């Protein structure tokens, strides 16, 4: 009996998907509810499980094909046999006996040889070490023969001096030899050699959706960005002082994101326009606080949602962010994980970004950009001191948020982070 593998309901407004990858081949055994094929939609990747245990007898839709909801992807036979296992069954050859002498089969002779090889493994290791020591000695002698100027260039440019032919006395490497070497045109890149002058790869559905939504944000919203800087000293000290106790009690590290989420929630409550959206000629104020946070994956940027962030503790925030981030990187996010956000936090600082102008995640009206923390000289109480500084950027829809509101909103986040005790006093 054959059971059909169908494209499931994919979520609101999603009617089709792309077959990303089959996880099983025709003829392979599958278990009931075992992931059998991966589909890619506009928002998430999802795995379709086998409806029954049996053998995958047919694949109707190959990798890269577009399928609609309810379409037949393939079929599984409950009574089928594992064809691949049949092929993999090893034949046991009888031992050959001549003149009452039992001969080892070729395979057994090979195994015997491997055993002897393993027994002599230590000796080559000693020889390898000797060769290594010899190479190090040779390299040391070469390094000693170099002038200080040559050694500096070799160190800075990471030049393999063994590949350099010296023009000095007794083959000594001179500064001019290195300069001539650096003047040689470098070889073509590995990608150019492998793929040619250009590569053309079809955009994934996720990448197409990202491009479409970002363009919509630029065209449909009055985008503006305001900036501020925050001294992270007190947050960093609080994390350092309480990290061990926090981790022992809750089983997770105290990160920066929980402080930023808490700070944003406080600011959103005080400036409700930043947590609102426009529907036609109506402003919809959201009295719940679902914080979206950007996660970079191999397939592109996704923005899962931390639901009801105002009702979560620091530990709950850290646990939920870790869980959702792992799902995003593993491609296991659901449609529900991506819906319902009211405000977005984007942390480009994890990649080393110093400053940026983040783009809105429509229909939201605001997005906060975090950046790298760098020690900078600042004036504190009339004295110049070195402090860990982060630049903050708030991009917002100027149609609904005025300049005064945006600046005041960002200033409140700054104040909460520079004095994190405020977060516990609800001020």
Using an 8 Å Cβ cutoff, are 290 and 412 in contact? no
Write the Ramachandran bin of 52: left for phi over 0, alpha for psi from -120 to 50, otherwise beta.
beta
Closest Cα to residue 417, out of 258, 301, 242, 300? Answer: 258
State the DSSP string of 361-376: -TT-SEEEEE--EEEE
Q: Which residues are catalytic?
A: 398, 402
Strands of 61-100 (E only): list them.
66-68, 72-77, 97-98
Kindly state the tokens that stand for 5: 């593998």
**416 in helix, strand or coil?**
helix
Q: How far apart are CA 185 and CA 194, in angstroms?
A: 19
Query: Between β-strands 101-102 and 97-98, what pairing exists: parallel, antiparallel or unpaired?
Result: antiparallel
The gap between the terminal CA atoms of the chain, to the nearest Å, is 66
Using an 8 Å Cβ cutoff, are 292 and 308 in contact? no
Calculate ∠ Cα 360-290-349, nearest 5°. Answer: 55
**Taking the CB of residue 275, how many other CB atoms lie within 10 A of it?**
24
| Residues constituting the chain | 427
Q: How far apart are CA 196 and CA 191, in angstroms?
A: 7
State the DSSP string of 125-153: HHHHHHHHHHHHHHHHHHHHHS-HHHHHH
Q: What is the DSSP letter of 170?
A: G
Q: How far apart are CA 411 and CA 229, in angstroms?
A: 9
Tokens 């075992």, located at residue: 34
Using an 8 Å Cβ cutoff, are 173 and 150 in contact? yes
Using an 8 Å Cβ cutoff, are 23 and 35 in contact? yes
Closest Cα to residue 39, out of 70, 13, 8, 80? Answer: 8
Q: How far apart are CA 368 and CA 263, in angstroms?
A: 11
């Amino acid at each position: 009996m054959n059971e059909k593998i169908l494209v499931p309901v994919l979520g609101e407004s999603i009617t089709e998907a792309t077959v990303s990858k089959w996880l099983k081949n025709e003829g392979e055994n599958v278990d009931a509810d075992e992931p059998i094929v991966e589909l890619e939609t506009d928002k998430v990747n999802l795995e379709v499980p086998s409806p029954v245990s049996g053998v995958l007898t047919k694949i109707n839709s190959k990798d890269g094909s577009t399928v609609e909801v309810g379409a037949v992807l393939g079929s599984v036979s409950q009574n089928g046999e594992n064809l691949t296992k049949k092929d993999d069954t090893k034949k046991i050859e009888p031992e050959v006996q001549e003149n009452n002498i039992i001969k080892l089969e070729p395979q057994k002779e090979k195994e015997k040889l491997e055993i002897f090889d393993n027994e002599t493994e230590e000796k080559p290791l000693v020889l390898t070490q000797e060769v290594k020591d010899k190479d190090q000695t040779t390299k040391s002698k070469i390094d000693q023969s170099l002038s200080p100027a040559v050694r500096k260039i070799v160190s800075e440019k990471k030049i393999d001096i063994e590949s350099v032919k010296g023009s000095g006395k007794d083959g000594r490497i001179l500064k001019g030899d290195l300069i001539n070497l650096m003047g040689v045109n470098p070889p073509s890149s590995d990608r150019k050699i492998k793929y040619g002058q250009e590569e053309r790869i079809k955009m994934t559905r996720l990448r197409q959706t990202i491009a479409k939504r970002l363009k919509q944000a630029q065209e449909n919203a009055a985008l503006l960005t305001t900036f501020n800087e925050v001294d992270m000293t007190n947050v960093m000290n609080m994390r350092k002082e309480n990290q061990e106790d926090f981790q022992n009690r809750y089983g997770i590290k105290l990160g920066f994101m929980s402080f930023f989420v808490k700070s944003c929630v406080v600011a959103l409550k005080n400036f409700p326009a930043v947590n609102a959206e426009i529907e036609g000629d109506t402003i919809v104020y959201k009295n719940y606080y679902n914080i979206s946070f950007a996660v970079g994956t191999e397939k592109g940027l996704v923005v899962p949602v931390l639901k009801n962030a105002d009702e979560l503790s620091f530990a709950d925030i850290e646990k939920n962010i870790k869980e959702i981030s792992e799902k995003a990187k593993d491609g296991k996010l659901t449609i529900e994980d991506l819906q319902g956000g009211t405000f977005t936090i984007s942390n480009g600082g994890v990649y080393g970004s110093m400053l940026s102008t983040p783009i809105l995640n429509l229909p939201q009206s605001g997005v906060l950009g975090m950046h790298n923390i760098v020690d900078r000289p600042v004036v504190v109480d009339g004295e110049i001191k070195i402090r860990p500084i982060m630049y903050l950027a708030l991009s917002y829809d100027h149609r609904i948020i005025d300049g005064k509101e945006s600046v005041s909103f960002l200033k409140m986040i700054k104040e909460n982070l520079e004095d994190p005790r405020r977060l516990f006093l609800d001020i």
